Copies of this chain bind each other. A is one copy, B any other.
Amino acid sequence: MSDRPDLAAMLYPLVRTLIALELPVLAEHEVSMWGYSVLTALDETPVRTQAALAEAIGADKSRIIGTLDELQDAGLIERTPDPADRRVRLLSITTQGRRIRRSVRRAIHLQEDRLLAKLTRIEREAFLRALRTLHEAR
């Protein structure tokens, strides 16, 4: 494979840049990064135990509780006891939560597009396709 800078040395600053672009968007919608991560996960796969959710988004199960509390207080998610197993709280995103999530997502993609605009359409598509492959093959 050809000579190149370390992958991480290129990817990490890119992620930093993205996060810097996204933080204001999140703040504007009054959602934390973890909160948005939760909303995204729940909007794509509605029901899960909290432990499974934590694992899915790479968070610590003891640290996710505060995030869930906030989201619940804001009416963005619901926690209902599972009638079949009363230890478990079934998690679901509310209509309001879905609305917020989609709004944030749209704004974030706009920011991302500013970065991706540095690539030609062909390059951009190839980049995104490869990235998805790497992401899904994890």
What is the interface of chain A, defined by CB distance below 8 A to chain B? 1-2, 4-19, 22, 37, 40, 58, 105, 108-109, 112-113, 115-116, 118-119, 123-135, 137-138
Contacts and interface: CB of A to CB of B under 8 A. Distances in A.
B8 A19 contact: yes
A29 to B, nearest CB: 14
Contacts of A133: 118-119, 123
Most chain-B CB neighbours within 10 Å: which of A1, A105, A112? A1
Nearest to A9: B40
6 contacts: A4-B128, A6-B108, A8-B108, A13-B135, A14-B135, A17-B138
A136 to B, nearest CB: 9
